[in-house]
Structure formats: C-alpha cells, structure tokens
Amino acid sequence: MNRTLVINNILQQRKPLVQKIEQVKTLLIQRQEFLKELEQLRLAIMPQLDNPVSVELLKKLDLNKLHNLIDSALAALSKLKRRFARTTLNIGVVGRARQGKSRLLQSISGLTRAEIPDGDREHCTGVSSTIYHNKNRDQEPYGVVWFYSENSFLKEIIAPYYAQLQLGNSPQNIQEFAQNNLPELPDALKTFAEYKAKYEHLKRYKDNLGRYYRLLGTTEAQPLRITREQIREYVAQDNEQGDRILFAEGMRNEWSAFLDDDEIRSKIWIEFRQIEERKHLQMSWKNQVTKTMIPNQELVFL
C-alpha cells in the first residue's frame, strides 16, 4: 500500500468520528438546558417548602458543578472535532538519539536532509519545527524563524525548569538569569538521572546565553526568513562536522517545502519535536486516534 492510500485510509477513518462528536455535543447541550430548567425549578419551590430538611437539601444541590462539567466536555469535544475534521495529517516521531527519526520523516515526506537535518551523533534536532507544503512551485523552499522574546523565553523555557527542579523562584529578567549562579539541585533529586539531565540542560541554557541572547525578541515585528541551505543552522544542535552550533531551542521555526507526490503534499503536515520525557509523550497522545509502533521509535498520527 502506498503512502497516499495509507493517508487517505486514516482520514476516512476519522470522518465517522466527526458525526459521533456532533451527536454527543447535541445531547450535552440538551442536558445543559434541562439543568437550567431544573435550577429555575429549584429556586422557585424552595420558598414554598415548610420542611427545613428539604430546603437544606435543595440548597446543597450544586447544579453549577454539573453545568461546568458539561462546559469542559463540550470544549474537549470541539477540540476533537477540529482534529478529526482536518483534511491534513500531522506526523510526529519520538525516539532516542541516532535511531533514525529524521530519516524516517525524510522517507515519509520525500524531503532531503536539507529540509529535515539528520546526524549520527547525539540528538540532531534542537528546536520545534513545522514543515508544510508550498503550492507555489516557482518559489524556492525557505524557512521562517521566530525567536522568543526575553519575557517568553524566561516564562516558557526557563521557569518550568526552576519549578520541576525545585530551584526556588525563577529569574524575573534576563540580567538576573545571566548574573546569578544557578541554585544547587536539591539533594532529594540528585539521585535521579532524569532530574540531573534536566539540570544539565538548564545549565547549558545559562552557559550559552551569550551566544543567543542578542537574538531574543528580534522577530517580534517580523520573522526571519532563511534559505534552504540555512535550515540546518537553525534546526540542528550540531553542524555536519559534529561541532556544537547556535543553541537552537530559543527558536520556533516553520519550513516551506515541496513534497514529491501531488496527492500527498496537500494532505500531510509534519511536526517534528524533540520530546525528552516519556510523560510528555503520554500527554501528547491524549485524544489521538492512530499510533503505530516501530522498532526503537514511536510514530504518532495526530
């Protein structure tokens, strides 16, 4: 079975789910209306009751809690409907270093290592990137790069490390992060390889701050556009010779490229992320419909 048929089969499997979601949403909305009527009835009959026990029981009847639960369910269903109604397929790959994640995505998409860099050393990919199809065949493939602002970098990247590693209050500005020493990792966490690895990762952010600090906030007005030949510089952690290059995780990137198969390229989006922790992976699988296991890797259709 070729790639086009596989993708079409997955998309076709999702269509009935959209109808089921609509049916459930309609049912939940009806139940919300019933709850509103019940609430009005509760408020109307309480003054008419002589039995204090009955009045007290009606006062304790928390219909708002049920209403909020339905609101949460409706929001989750709307998210699922948007996903199942898509005419594109997102593909994510998770695995350890040197297990062929990038090469697998190259083979699926028909792209080369110019658009999806790979390596034979440590983890090659160092930044969250999205690759999408550009219908303009006269235009050369290009990349669009967004750098974090100082504020978003501290809140979205640095602060979670401080919280997870129990390091106290996170830096409030970039100067504080640069000038102050990192707090010591608590003794209770030093025996866990996971926390030690996270601490070393945070330390690399600090040690390499001088290499990427000048770029923070420079794309707030307009993203940086780069050529296909520059993509590796902004995506990979190492160059072709294996030397460490720009600390790429201060960036959010998007690449525009052509896929070879006319039918495939209109239906496939590739979102490529380096996921470090298994628990993050499990969270990302919530509400997914297709998961395929392959040796040493995990391929997820989103």
Q: Where is 225: in which H helix or E strand?
A: strand 224-227
3-state SS class at 246:
coil
Q: What tokens does 32 get?
A: 């919300």
User: Domain ranges in the chain?
Assistant: 3-85, 150-222
The pLDDT score that the predictor gives to residue 127 is 67
pLDDT tens digits for 161-215?
Answer: 999 999 999 999 999 999 999 999 999 999 999 999 999 989 988 988 888 888 8
Mean pLDDT computed over every residue of the chain = 76
In the chain, which residues have pLDDT < 70? 1, 97, 119-128, 134, 137, 236-302
The amino acid present at 171, given as its one-letter code, is P
Q: Which of 222, 301, 287 is nearest to 80 (CA)?
A: 287
The pLDDT score that the predictor gives to residue 213 is 85
| DSSP result, 7-69 | HHHHHHHHHHHHHHHHHHHHHHHHHHHHHHHHHHHHHHHGGG---HHHHHHHHH--HHHHHHH
Query: What predicted TM-score, i.e. pTM, was given to this entire model?
Result: 0.56
The pLDDT score that the predictor gives to residue 293 is 35
CA distance 266 to 67: 40
Scanning the structure block, which residue is given the tokens 């090469």? 103
Length of the chain: 302
